[in-house]
Amino acid sequence: MSSIKIQKICCIGAGYVGGPTMSVIADKCPDLEIRVVDINKERIDAWNDSDLNKLPIFEPGLDRIISRTRGRNLFFSTEMEKSISDADMIFISVNTPTKTKGLGAGQASDLSWVEASARQVAKYAKGHTIVIEKSTLPVRTAQAIKEILKTTDKETQKNEISKTFSVLSNPEFLAEGTAINDLEKPDRVLIGGEDSDSIDALVKIYLNWVPYEQIICTNLWSSELSKLAANAFLAQRISSINSISAFCEATGADVQEVAKAIGTDKRIGNQFLSAGPGFGGSCFKKDILNLVYLSGYFGLPEVANYWNQVVVLNTWQQDRIYKIVLEKLFGTVNGKNIAILGFSFKANTNDTRESPAIRISSDLLEEGAILSIYDPKVTFERIEEDFEKFSFNNQGIWKMANSIPEALKNVDAVLILTAWDEFFGLDWNYLASLMRSPAWVFDTRSVVNRQEIDNTGVNLWKLGAVSYTHLRAHETVLDVVCRLLLEKK
C-alpha cells in the first residue's frame, strides 16, 4: 500500500460533479479535510447557505450528506491559493464545454478551465501533490497537464522551492438524479495512472466504502478514453431505441413492448431502453462530439461518421416531436396555449443543459405558441437563460406555472417532456375539464396510461405507440367538437 499519506484534499470546481463527489468522500472519510473551491462566489454562497433547499444542485439525498459533513470536514470556499497549497491531493473538476470558435469548433472540448486550473496548481502547490483529472477530458489531456506542471516545476526549482507532481485520471460515472447512490454504491471506480504509489493512495481512500474488486486500475489513456466510450455507448442506446419508436408509430407496434422484449435478452439488458424526446445533460452530446473530433484527428473518418449519427438522430427525434405537435394541432400553434410539463433534461435533477425541452419549446415559440411551463425544480431564471442561449426568432410568449392545474388552464395541448414522479397517475378527468376542446396530450415519457384518458374527451399521442384520438372515420373537426360537447352534457 502507498507510503503517501493523504490528509487534505482540494477540489477545483463546485459543480454537478465536484460538489456531490466531495460530499460523499467527506461523509465516508471523516478523517480527511476536504475543501471545494470555485471562483464563482454566488455558487459557493449557495453551497454554504443554511437553507439546504437553496443548494445550487438538486440531487436526492445530497442535502442530508451536506447537513452532516459541511463545517465538520467539508468546506466550500473561494480561497483558491490556500486550499491548493495546503492540499496533498487535488481533483480538477471544472467544466469542459464544446468549443464555440476556432479549430474544432462545434466538436472539440474547450480545455481553458482545465489549463487554468493546472497553472494554479503548479503555482500554489507545495511539496508532493497528486493531481487528479475528474472532469471528462479528451484522450491525452493528462499529458498537457503534466507539461504545465513540469514547466512550472523547473521554474520553482530555480527559487529552491521543492515541489513534485503525479497525475491520475479518475473519471466520474454519475447519472444525474441518482448521483448520490452512484457515488455510494458505484458499479466501478476507475483509476488511471503511471505512479503506483499515487494510485494506491487514491485506492486507499475509495476502500473506505468501495470493495477492492470494484476498483479498476489502468494506464492514463485507457482511463480517459473509457469515460468518453461509456457515454457514447449509453447515448447510442438512447438514439437506437428512439429510432425504433418512430418505426413503432409507423407500423402499429408499441415501443415499450419492443423494449421489454429485447431488454430481457441478457446480451442486451434493459438499461437505457426507454424511448423519449432524446438525451440531454452536460456529457452525452459533448462527449460524442469530442469523440467525433478525435476520430477525425487520428484519421478515422468512418468512426467519426458512425458516432456523429448518434447526435444527428437525437436532434431529429426532437424535431420530429415538434412537427407531430404541429400536425395534430391542425398545422399551426400560432396563438394556441400549450402546457409544457417538465423542463429539466431528466427527472430528479434541476439540470437543463442540452434538455430536449429547450429545442422543442423554442421551435413552438417560433411558431407563435403561448407556453405555460411547469417544472418542480427548474427556476424561471434558468429557463430564461436557456432560451436566451438558444437562438430563435421568438414569435410566441411563455410563462412559468406554479402547479400542474395552473399550467393546464385553457390550454389546447399538454406536452410531457420530463418523467417527474408527480406526472404519473394524474386525475385527467379533472385536468381535461380545464383544457379547451378538442385537446391533446403529447406524452414523450410514457407517464400516461391510456385508461386514464378514456372518457375524458382528450386525444392522446404517446411516443412509440399508435395515437389515441376521438376522431372517427369520416368525421370532420367540427363534427368531433360537436360530439364532444354533447358527450359532456
> Residues 291, 296, 298, 300: what is their CA dihedral angle, to the nearest 10 degrees?
100
> Cell numbers of 320, please?
420530429
In terms of C-beta density within 10 A (0-12 exposed, 13-18 middle, 19 or more buried), how is residue 156 classed? Answer: middle
Nearest to 170 by CA among 139, 199, 207, 149: 199
- Helix (H), strand (E), coil (C) string for 54-67: HCCCCCCCHHHHHH
Q: How many CB atoms lie within 10 A of CB 81?
A: 11
Q: Active site includes 283? A: yes
Angstrom CA distances, 306 to 70, 132, 291, stand at: 45, 31, 10
CA distance 296 to 305: 9
CA distance 386 to 177: 20
Given 217, 248, 283, 482, the catalytic residue: 283
Strand boundaries in 375-430, DSSP class E: 397-400, 413-416
Angstrom CA distances, 414 to 94, 245, 422, 441, stand at: 37, 20, 15, 5
Angstrom CA distances, 395 to 216, 416, 435, stand at: 53, 22, 23
Provide the residue type at 181 as one letter: N
Task: Break the chain down into helix, strand, coil percent, rounded to 5.
Answer: 45, 15, 40
For 208-273, give the DSSP string. Answer: TTS-GGGEEEE-HHHHHHHHHHHHHHHHHHHHHHHHHHHHHHHHT--HHHHHHHHHTSTTT-STT-
Q: Residue 123, SS3?
A: helix
- The answer to whether the Cα torsion of 73, 76, 80, 81 is positive or negative is negative
Nearest to 462 by CA among 450, 473, 471: 450
Is residue 43 a contact partner of residue 13, using CB atoms and an 8 Å limit?
Answer: no
- The answer to whether the Cα torsion of 206, 209, 210, 212 is positive or negative is positive
Is residue 228 a contact partner of residue 287, using CB atoms and an 8 Å limit?
Answer: yes
Which residues participate in catalysis according to the annotation? 283
